């Protein structure tokens, strides 16, 4: 238990050091303990990782929660292209991304590019509505909650730097296939393409449609809805209406000479 506690304290201290909150003074240690108490008590009532900032709300001693923002600079498109190129060269990295995990030794690989997902202490902009000097206990609580959230959300820090998992996968896929997509400026977008299809609906190929063998099959398979209190089974009451609608649909599709019968 003692070893586990030492490891936990060391991990928390290292995490605080990343944002410059590892104040070793008595006041700093007291602030860290109070921030951890707030986190453990569920007083960080919301947390969002967005491009360029982490937003959180902390319920302190006042009725109104304090709003906290931890801001950081985004990576440039050129830096992200370099990251995508680096990951695209290793199939194992791409496989882990597809599995929803960050590649092993990702931070170590980023050092080749002079980058780090975790910003340096002097690269953060800390804000809180409590009015206390930064870093305040609410900022520390949000940062500790971010550490906890990162365990379940490996891509929290990449979103903070400007790329979601899906965006990163798309960039890597383009590089692996030799394609490079470039964003189209808004001024070059065709305004007439937002509400008009490029082809006529009659030119869209449709797969062949066959007649189901069972009348009102989906309704029969699903059965009565939960809480159904009708005078008869749902398929008994609604089946004829469904069949009539289906016959009308087939008439529109094949013409008025279509044979009647079970079509659903």
pLDDT greater at residue 261 or residue 240:
240
- pLDDT recorded at residue 14: 57
Q: Mean pLDDT in the chain? A: 78
pTM of the model: 0.59
Contact 71, 52 (CB under 8 A): yes
Q: 19-54 as b/e, with b when 16 or more CB fall inside 10 Å?
A: bbbbbeeeeeeebbeebbebbeeebbeebebeebbb
Q: Which tens digit of pLDDT belongs to each residue from 36-86? A: 899 999 999 999 988 999 999 999 888 889 999 999 999 999 999 999 888
pLDDT at res. 189: 66
Per-residue pLDDT at 60: 83
Residue 184 has pLDDT above 80, yes or no: no
Query: For the chain, which residues make up each domain, given as ranges?
Result: 8-176, 211-264
Q: What pLDDT is recorded for position 264?
A: 46
* pLDDT number for residue 253: 72
- More confident call, 22 vs 105: 105
Task: Please give, one letter per residue, the 3-state secondary structure of 4-55.
Answer: HHHHHHHHHHHHHHHCCCCCCCHHHHHHHHHHHHHHHCCCEEEEEEECCEEE
Question: What local confidence, expressed as pLDDT, does residue 198 receive?
Answer: 65
Cα distance between residue 107 and residue 5, in whole Å: 26
- Residue 2: its pLDDT value, please? 36
Task: Say if residue 6's pLDDT is above 50.
Answer: no
Query: 127 phi and psi, to 5 degrees?
Result: -135, 145
DSSP state of 112: G
pLDDT of res. 55: 93
Using one digit for the tens of pLDDT, what is the confidence trace for 216-237? 777 776 677 766 777 778 888 8
């Amino acid at each position: 238990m003692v070893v586990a506690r030492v490891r936990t304290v060391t991990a928390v201290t290292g995490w605080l050091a990343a944002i410059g909150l590892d104040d070793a003074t008595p006041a700093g240690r007291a602030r860290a303990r109070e921030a951890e108490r707030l986190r453990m008590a569920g007083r960080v009532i919301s947390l969002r990782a967005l491009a360029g900032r982490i937003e959180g709300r902390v319920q302190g001693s006042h009725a109104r929660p304090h709003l906290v923002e931890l801001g950081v600079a985004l990576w440039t498109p050129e830096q992200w292209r370099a990251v995508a190129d680096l990951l695209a060269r290793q199939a194992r990295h791409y496989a882990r991304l597809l599995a929803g995990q960050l590649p092993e030794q990702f931070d170590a690989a980023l050092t080749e590019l002079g980058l780090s997902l975790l910003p340096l202490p002097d690269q953060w902009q800390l804000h809180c509505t409590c009015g206390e000097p930064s870093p305040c206990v609410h900022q520390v609580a949000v940062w500790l909650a971010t550490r906890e959230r990162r365990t379940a959300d490996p891509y929290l820090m990449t979103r903070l730097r400007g790329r979601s998992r899906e965006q990163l996968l798309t960039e890597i896929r383009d590089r692996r296939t030799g394609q490079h997509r470039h964003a189209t400026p808004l001024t070059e977008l065709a305004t007439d393409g937002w509400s008009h299809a490029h082809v006529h609906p009659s030119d869209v190929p449709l797969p062949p449609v066959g007649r189901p063998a069972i009348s009102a099959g989906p309704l029969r398979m699903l059965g009565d809805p939960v809480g159904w209190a009708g005078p008869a089974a749902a398929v008994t009451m609604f089946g004829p209406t469904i069949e009539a609608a289906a016959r009308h649909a087939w008439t529109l599709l094949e013409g008025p000479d279509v044979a009647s019968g079970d079509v659903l």
